[in-house]
Copies of this chain bind each other. A is one copy, B any other.
């Protein structure tokens, strides 16, 4: 995979996605000692960058390929993104979702007209449920981060950011399955790409350290979008291009998220705050530098109990 694929994706999805704003904050610059440019993909259609990859995949396909609709498994933002993209092409979207997915993400996906099938929160049950759906419907599977069309689409975030802000020293993105991180590596030019990963889901960190692709950790981190393991494809791209993975604790994610809500007045989900958490923790890496931070999503459950877990 290469930059050309990202540029083609960019052309293909223009007009179907938002060009999201870049925010700055003098108080957050003071706190970090860096000059930060926040690329606000929480203000993207569907509340997350995921629409870029899903839209690129669906717009790349022929009517025939789409005749049985599309399907995927996802705990959240990719599900909603695929539902939007499918609706725009007028085909059905079938989503396999674990029972413990956030309510807001489940409801938003259903509201886009997708058909949701719940499964247990295990890889086995997820695969089994999806296979059964595919056999019944002939729907085309669009993986949330191993699909090259999805990776190319996610790469357009950094392409757009580099068009609005020149001379960046580095870009920081959160990492789960590695779709955004891989796409960013393809589109970053000579800008260094760092990825932020929860300590409680540090499979990507350990995979890159050991050179062996490891499976997922138990899905315990509050950053529900970052619980998946790397895939063969993302592992390979990241081995080649990624500068480094920076680990962050659960407390650091929540503290970073709170600062973003307070200072930027925008909703950021825990996964979306991991990149800023990494810059707060690893200040020495970014001091005095122009840093692009991708805020990946803003889909949080807005009820007292759920908010109580995020803001103690």
User: Which chain A residues have a beta carbon within 8 Å of chain B's beta carbons?
Assistant: 21, 42-43, 47, 104, 258, 261-262, 264-267, 298, 302-304, 307-308, 311-312
A267 to B302, CA, bound (A): 12
Q: Which one of A258, A302, A303 has the greatest number of beta carbons of chain B within 10 Å?
A: A302
Given contacts A104-B262, A266-B267, 20 further A-B contacts (CB under 8 A): A42-B265, A43-B265, A258-B302, A261-B267, A261-B302, A262-B302, A265-B266, A265-B267, A265-B298, A267-B267, A302-B311, A303-B312, A304-B304, A304-B307, A304-B311, A304-B312, A307-B307, A307-B308, A307-B311, A308-B308
Main secondary structure of the interface of A (DSSP, over half): helix
List 28 interface pairs A-B (beta carbons < 8 Å), by A numbering. Answer: A21-B21, A42-B265, A43-B264, A43-B265, A47-B265, A104-B262, A258-B302, A261-B267, A261-B302, A262-B302, A265-B266, A265-B267, A265-B298, A266-B266, A266-B267, A267-B267, A302-B311, A303-B311, A303-B312, A304-B304, A304-B307, A304-B308, A304-B311, A304-B312, A307-B307, A307-B308, A307-B311, A308-B308
A264 neighbours in B (Cβ, 8 Å): 43
Residue of B nearest to A312 (CB): B304
Closest-CB distance, A297 to chain B (whole angstroms): 9
Question: CB-CB < 8 A to A21: which residues of B?
Answer: 21
Contacts of A43 in B (CB 8 A): 264-265
Smallest Cβ-Cβ distance to A297: which chain B residue: B265
Distance (whole angstroms) from the CB of A42 to the closest CB of chain B:
5
User: CA separation between A42 and B303, bound complex, in Å?
Assistant: 21
Q: Smallest CB–CB gap between A111 and chain B, Å?
A: 9
Q: A71: shortest Cβ distance to chain B, in Å?
A: 25
User: What's the minimum C-beta distance from A158 to chain B, rounded to whole angstroms?
Assistant: 20
CA A104 – CA B261 in complex, angstroms? Answer: 12
Residue of B nearest to A41 (CB): B265
Looking at the assembled complex, report how far the CB atom of A287 sits from the nearest CB atom of chain B, in whole angstroms.
Answer: 23
Chain B residue nearest to A308 (CB atoms) is B304
Contacts of A262 in B (CB 8 A): 104, 302
